[in-house]
Amino acid sequence: MKTQPVSLQAFSQRYPEVGAAFAALGQACHEKGGPLDEKTRRLAKLALAIGSQHEGAVHSATRHALEAGVTPEELMHVAILAITTIGWPGAYAAMTWIADLTNPE
């Protein structure tokens, strides 16, 4: 299993049954939920995270997408597409959250 953020590790240690159930649900949804290929699933998850405006979810989706071979340019394109749907401020925030992992300078 890939390394989880420290906060999620702490939660799973405190509530192991809930952590295991959540991980199993996530895996089942990701792998058995339909015909989308890995890259498309990762881009869709990023778009959902951007739309929900959750920084942690954008970081997680970005990390997983990079691990799946999605390029930083493709990730940024998803954020740019969000401009006309969620507005400039929300889309730009997502761009900075993606950059946290793709341009960590």
Do residues 55 and 4 both lie within one domain? Answer: no
Do residues 27 and 40 both lie within one domain? Answer: no
Structure confidence by residue, pLDDT tens digits, 3-47? 677 888 899 999 999 999 988 998 888 888 789 999 999 999 999
The residue segments making up the domain with residue 16 are: 1-34
Do residues 29 and 73 both lie within one domain? Answer: no
Do residues 86 and 98 both lie within one domain? Answer: yes
Q: Domain holding 83: CATH number?
A: 1.20.1290.10
22-26, 48-52, 92-96: segment of lowest average pLDDT = 22-26
91 close to 101: Cβ distance less than 8 angstroms: no
Rounded Cα distance between 84 and 100, Å, is 23
DSSP 45-79: HHHHHHHHT-HHHHHHHHHHHHHTT--HHHHHHHH
Do residues 76 and 90 both lie within one domain? Answer: yes
Total tally of structural domains belonging to the chain: 2
Q: pLDDT > 70: what percent of the chain?
A: 96
